[in-house]
Amino acid sequence: MPDTAQRLQNFTESVIREMTRVSNQYEAINLSQGFPDDNPPALVLEAAHRAVDGDCHQYAITWGAPRFRRALARKQSRFMGLELDPDQHMVVTCGSTEAMMVAMMTACNPGDRVIIFSPFYENYGADTILSGAVPIYVPLRPPTYDFDPDELRRAFEQGVKALVLCNPSNPSGKVFTREELHIIAELSREFDAYVITDEVYEHIVYPPCEHVYMASLPGMFERTISCSSLSKTYSMTGWRLGYVIAVPEVISAAKKVHDFLTVGAAAPLQEAAVAALELPPEYYGELLAAYTRRRDLLCGYLDKAGLTYARPQGAYYVLADISAFGAGDDTAFCHWMAKEIGVAAVPGSSFFHEPVHHLVRFHFARSERILKEAGERLLKLQEYR
């Protein structure tokens, strides 16, 4: 049998999804793979029924159904403070997973260098390698997850084509400040690089932090390839609706990549999701209030269980320090915790390029009832300190 492609040997299967399998094996409460418990809003589900009863069952226009793009342009123009044209500035993709891959393949030639902040969402390393680019990692150091601007400059000096910015960040919960974004923006202009953003948690940012879109900073729309999705904002991770937003020159190139990768996102779901994109401003307030309660609930239990962590500023993940348990092996700890404590988390090392083995990632996109149950179980950890 011939060998499979060499490039696949440079990354592993998703540890996040592996931990879901481990969780199922031990019937643990799954706080590993981060997706919400909730259904999409009822009126979106009603729209989905109407869409399926209608006649949009064949391919939509490859870069996105016109109604969907118009609604997306209206919503994102409002939040991003930009005037986005549904025909010029966007490609609709199968989730932000495809959006990121499209962005990477649009920006990079084989051999180009790409800066990735570490810890990072595990897809970015794989995306970089699959697109033939070479990752350069710049640490966001725990417990504060700040970066050193000089270290970032030294990375840019190696000659980079793009920087990946996950903001709010998975897995650290960091929200980049306006000042930090300005530093990144200035370096990307100085070294003529793209910034590829992953902003899927754009509506889950806890005050006083605020979400600043990289593309909205002066001179940055031209060099930012903004990726996001409807998954987290409307609790529809299985609908696989994402998008790339950029200037027309970049979008024409991205359309080609997307067309040959997937042709398009599901036509009836694009139709139905218009109802989500047209939800009133209060929806976003309620979403944030629900996640704030969940964050405070889980963090309260972590406090009681004696786990330290950096309080999430955004997204729905928290990296907790397990050093107090004498655990130098986060993977073994996560397997043990799923089995003995009944709660599944992701070993922090799967997000770090550096050898960091004292953190585990919990997600809190679960109902308050389930988080309470998980929290009660985590209290048992005290016996093992």
Binding site for ligand GLN (CB under 6 A): 16-17, 33-35, 121, 170
CB of 243 to ligand GLN, least distance (A): 16
Burial class of residue 6 in the structure, from the number of CB atoms within 10 Å of its CB (0-12 exposed, 13-18 middle, 19+ buried): exposed
The Cα angle at residue 73 between residues 48 and 81, in degrees rounded to 5: 135
Distance CA 340, CA 381 (A): 10
- Residue number with CB closer to ligand GLN (34 or 142): 34
Distance between CA atoms of residues 365 and 370, nearest Å: 10
Cβ nearer to ligand GLN, comparing 160 with 164: 164
CB of 199 to ligand GLN, least distance (A): 13
Token pair of 233 as six digits: 């904002």
Q: Smaller CB distance to ligand GLN: residue 96 or 226? A: 96
Q: How far is the CB of 10 from ligand GLN (least distance, A)?
A: 20
Q: Which is nearer to ligand GLN, 200 or 250 (CB)?
A: 200
C-beta closer to ligand GLN: residue 36 or 139: 36
Query: Minimum distance from CB of 171 to ligand GLN (Å)?
Result: 7
Residues 352/170, Cβ–Cβ less than 8 Å: no
Q: Which is nearer to ligand GLN, 19 or 181 (CB)?
A: 19
Minimum CB distance to ligand GLN, residue 372 (Å):
21
The rounded distance, in Å, linking the Cα atoms of 242 and 100 is 9
End-to-end CA gap in the chain: 50
Lookup result for tokens 């800066």? 115
CA 292 to CA 284: how far, in whole Å? 12
Smaller CB separation from ligand GLN, 122 or 271: 122
* Nearest residue (beta carbon) to ligand GLN: 34
Smallest distance from ligand GLN to CB 134, Å: 24
C-alpha–C-alpha distance, residues 236 and 292, integer Å: 19
Q: What is the closest distance, in whole angstroms, from the C-beta atom of residue 269 to ligand GLN in the complex?
A: 17
Cis peptide before 208 (omega within 30 of 0): yes
Tally of CA atoms within 13 A in the half-sphere of 91 that contains its CB: 35
Both tokens of 257, joined, read 């990549």
Is the bond preceding 268 in cis, omega lying within 30 degrees of 0?
A: no
Looking at the Cβ atoms of 17 and 178, the one nearer to ligand GLN is: 17
* C-alpha neighbours within 13 Å on the C-beta side of residue 33: 14
Report in angstroms the alpha-carbon separations of 231 from 136, 161, 237, 243, 344: 28, 28, 4, 11, 22
Sign of the Cα torsion 150, 151, 154, 155 reads negative
Residue number with CB closer to ligand GLN (86 or 142)? 142
Q: What is 11-60 written as a DSSP string?
A: S-S-HHHHHHHHHHHHT-EE-SS---SSPPPHHHHHHHHHHHHTT--SPP
The nearest distance, CB 123 to ligand GLN, in angstroms, is 7
CB of 149 to ligand GLN, least distance (A): 27
